[in-house]
């Protein structure tokens, strides 16, 4: 599409959590579950939002809100399904938006002023025309990794 640019473009799935717009490379997203039924897990690490039923498997889903220390969502959330070494896992987000085309040229690393936890979670940001799109790498959201990287 943007053949005039020298830098490659990428398709990202945009999701909203709170007031922030996040982008996740579409290639990593296995499936999007619209407001599925969830089951909380008592005593689970704080970042686990609950269990989600996905094609006969029971997925552990990470809550981006909890991970970022935000209040729990008031309404049901959407879930993105990712694959990791261990199997599959889910990610709770407020809502899933459209697929956006972003150019590597518009990408900038995390600002140094960003809080440490977010520094570790975010993979820089893309500058859209009217707002910022924070880049998320599913790899960094793997529950197993989170458990060791961000103990409670």
Partner 1 sequence: MDDLTREFLLESQEGLDRMERCLTDLEVRPGDAELLADIFRSVHTIKGTTGFLGFSRLEALSHAGENLLGLLRDGKLAANPAIVSGLLSLMDILRGVLRSIETTGAEGESQQQDAAMIARLEKLQLGDTSTAVAEPELAATTVEAPGHPGKTHKPRAPRKRSHQGAPPPADSGEAGPPTEAEELASEPEPEPSPAPAVAAPSLPARPASESPAPETQAPSTSGTADSTLRVDVELLNRMMNLVGELVLTRNQILQATNADAGFAILGRRLDMVTADLRESVMKARMQPVSHVFSRFPRLVRDLALGLDKKVRLEMEGQETELDKSLLEAIRDPLTHSIRNSIDHGIEMPDVRVAQGKAAEGVVRLRACHEGSHVIVEVHDDGAGMSIEKIRQKAVEKQLVPPQRAELMNEREILQLIFLPGFSTAATVTSVSGRGVGMDVVRTNVEKIGGKVEVDSRAGKGTVLRLRIPLTLAIIPALIVRSRGQNFAVPQGSLTELVHLSTGENDGRIERLENAALYRLRGRLLPLVFLDRLLQQSPREPGAPCDIAILNADGRRFGLVVDGLADPEEIVVKPLAAVLREIGLYAGATILGNGEMALILNPGAIAQNAGVSLTAEIEEAADENRAGQHDFLLVETGDRRAALPLETVVRIERIPRSRIERAGSRPVLRFEGALLPLDDAAGDLIRQTDDPEAQTTVVVCRDGQRHVGMTVSQVLDVTGGRQLEEAGSGLVAEGITLLHEKVTCIVSLAAIPPLENLVEQHAEQTL
The footprint of partner 1 (CB under 8 A) covers 37, 39-45, 48, 51, 53, 56-60, 86-87, 89, 143-144, 146-147
- Residue 124: both structure tokens together: 């820089």
Task: Specify the residue, 8 or 151, whose C-beta has the smaller distance to partner 1.
Answer: 151
Report the C-alpha gap between 28 and 47 in whole angstroms.
20
User: Least Å distance between CB 130 and partner 1?
Assistant: 38
Task: Specify the residue, 43 or 116, whose C-beta has the smaller distance to partner 1.
Answer: 43
H helix intervals, the chain: 64-67, 116-121, 143-149
- Residue 68: both structure tokens together: 């970022």
User: Least Å distance between CB 29 and partner 1?
Assistant: 18
User: Least Å distance between CB 52 and partner 1?
Assistant: 8
Report the C-alpha gap between 27 and 87 in whole angstroms.
17
């Amino acid at each position: 599409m943007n053949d005039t640019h020298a830098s490659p473009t990428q398709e990202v799935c945009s999701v909203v959590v709170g007031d922030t717009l996040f982008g996740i490379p579409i290639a990593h997203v296995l499936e999007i579950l619209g407001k599925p039924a969830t089951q909380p897990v008592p005593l689970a690490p704080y970042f686990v939002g609950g269990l989600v039923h996905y094609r006969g498997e029971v997925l552990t889903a990470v809550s981006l809100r909890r991970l970022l220390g935000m209040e729990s969502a008031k309404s049901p959330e959407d879930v993105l399904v990712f694959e990791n070494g261990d199997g599959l896992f889910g990610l709770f987000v407020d809502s899933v938006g459209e697929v956006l085309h972003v150019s590597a040229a518009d990408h900038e690393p995390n600002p140094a002023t960003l809080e440490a936890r977010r520094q570790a979670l975010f993979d820089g940001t893309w500058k859209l025309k009217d707002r910022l799109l924070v880049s998320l790498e599913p790899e960094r959201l793997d529950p197993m990794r989170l458990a060791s990287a961000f103990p409670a």
